[in-house]
Amino acid sequence: MKYKKVVVAGGGVLGSQIAFQSAYCGFDVTIWLRSEDSKTRTQPKLDTLKKTYEEALKLMASDEGKIDSNWCRGLADRDDFDVDKCLEKVEVAYNSIKLEVDMAKAVEDADLVIESMAENEKDKIEFYKKLAPVLPEKTVVVTNSSTLLPSMFAKYTGRGEMYLSLHFANNIWKQNTAEVMAHDGTDKKYFDEIIEFANEIRMVALPVNKEKNGYLLNSMLVPFLLSAFDLMANGVSDPESIDKAWTLGTGAPKGPFSIMDIVGLTTVKNIVEQYQKVPGLFSPLLKKMLLPYNFKGMLAILNEYIDAGKLGKSTKEGFYKYDE
């Protein structure tokens, strides 16, 4: 099956990126949003992505841009890079993405629906219950969940055999990975199609051969972030010092609190809440590693920041303040 129309459910940090990248690669893209207010929050993200893609491409066209750390693999290959054609693709993508609050209208004739909503099990179930009756028969559905398993939601989609996970890393145009994970009821045909779709939007498709909370990336990343956050929650040190300990000590470009600001503190809160349910989710070894963490303290800090509107880099303030 050759996909043409892609619907992204949710216009958050990753939802907007997935939509823009898919449109950049020539797909007909609609973002479904819960309300008109959601449109006013999503459009500025698309405005920023347009500027980000343009700046990245112009840098790639310079001598400095040829450096590996500056090259964005999700935008072009080195051997046939044409900056003008790529900039034209950005303009077309920006002008073609549609924002829609009517779910039935949004998914009409959709080949693929990518659910990219907050990591909240109840909200996702409610979404799938509303989605299932209005989906065309041909539509494949995937979740961009970062920690939850597709088997948790398959029965609510009404098409378990056509449902699986497609998880992206942040900064999709540069960190262009896509983890593809099926559940036991997924037809391999659709697993293969999603691998193909991921490649078509210039991702490096990473097959995950069995269900695993956290998939590949977050199985490594989340415990790292929790370890850092635990230091703050217990008053051991402050975010800037913890970040410097990591970046100066390892040579990594970003520390854990910078990463959490990019991910968004609402998403971080949802992940902390999920990991707090350790007994039902994880292996004995990981339970032993996670249970000593001060989840209560982490959630208190996150609630304070979120209540103050400090949601991370997208709102220009989280653990750090941002000028742009």
Using only the alpha carbons of the chain, give its radius of gyration: 20
The structure's pTM equals 0.81
Q: How many of the other CB atoms lie within 10 Å of CB of 303? A: 12
The sign of the dihedral angle between the CA atoms of 66, 67, 71, 76 is positive
Q: Where are the domains of the chain?
A: 5-208, 219-315
Regarding beta strands 204-208 and 177-181, do their DSSP bridges make them parallel or antiparallel, or are they unpaired? parallel
What's residue 278's pLDDT? Answer: 56
Fold annotation for 219-315: N-(1-d-carboxylethyl)-l-norvaline Dehydrogenase; domain 2 (1.10.1040)
Tell me the pLDDT tens digit for each residue of 215-229: 898 888 988 999 999
Give the H or E element holding residue 57: helix 36-60
Q: What's the rounded Cα separation, in Å, for the pair 215 and 180? A: 9
Tell me the pLDDT tens digit for each residue of 120-138: 899 999 999 999 999 999 9
What's residue 295's pLDDT? Answer: 92
Write out residues in the chain with pLDDT < 70, as ranges. Answer: 1, 277-291, 324
**Which CATH code fits 5-208?**
3.40.50.720
Whether the CB-CB separation of 263 and 312 falls below 8 Å is answered with: yes
